[in-house]
Amino acid sequence: MTNEFVMKSMSEATYSKKVGTASSYYLQEGSNMLPNRLSISKENITQVQRKGRNLQKVAGQCVGKFRNDEESPFKLHKPYTLRTQIWQVEEFLQFVGYGTCGISGDDGKIHDTGDLMVFYADDGEWHKIRIFIFKGMGRNPDDMIEAIKFASSLII
């Protein structure tokens, strides 16, 4: 897989933590594929079953909901929810972690899109978080590693 292919599949957004809140982040710059406001926490915001991938080391959780006036390829079905668990990547500890994007389906339940989300914060307090979104690269572990390597080259 070439860096050019990975780069073309990537979008990036930077979120800043709202002062005085525990987990409320607002879009500062970059892609508007994700909701303008996200809740990103080191703990689970909502209950998640501990099976499958959730047996890995969980670094946090990201949950958001699109407003009526927002447009995104991820805003397809009410209640317009976007979410992911954030898992640590042992080979890339400079990142907070990664997750695959889940959005609300026509049945109202969350469905995985297969899109990879890689989270980076340059401080332990997560005041500012960069999110790299790689379209379709969250299903194959080899593609995920290539995408994370590419993101790693952008933060150095």
Q: What is the pLDDT of residues 88-107, one digit of tens each?
A: 988 999 999 999 999 999 99
| pLDDT for 108 | 87
Q: CA Rg, the chain, in Å?
A: 15
Q: Which residues are within 8 A (CB) of 144 and not within 5 positions of it... i.e. 6 or more apart?
A: 98, 116, 137, 138
pLDDT grade for 80, boundaries at 50, 70 and 90: very high
Total domain count for the chain? 1
| pLDDT for 53 | 52
Query: Which candidate, 14, 46, 56, places its Cα nearest to that of 144?
Result: 56
Task: Identify the residue whose tokens are 């929810």.
Answer: 81
Sign (positive or negative) of CA dihedral 51, 52, 57, 61: negative
Tell me, what amino acid is at 34? L
Full domain range(s) for residue 133: 3-155
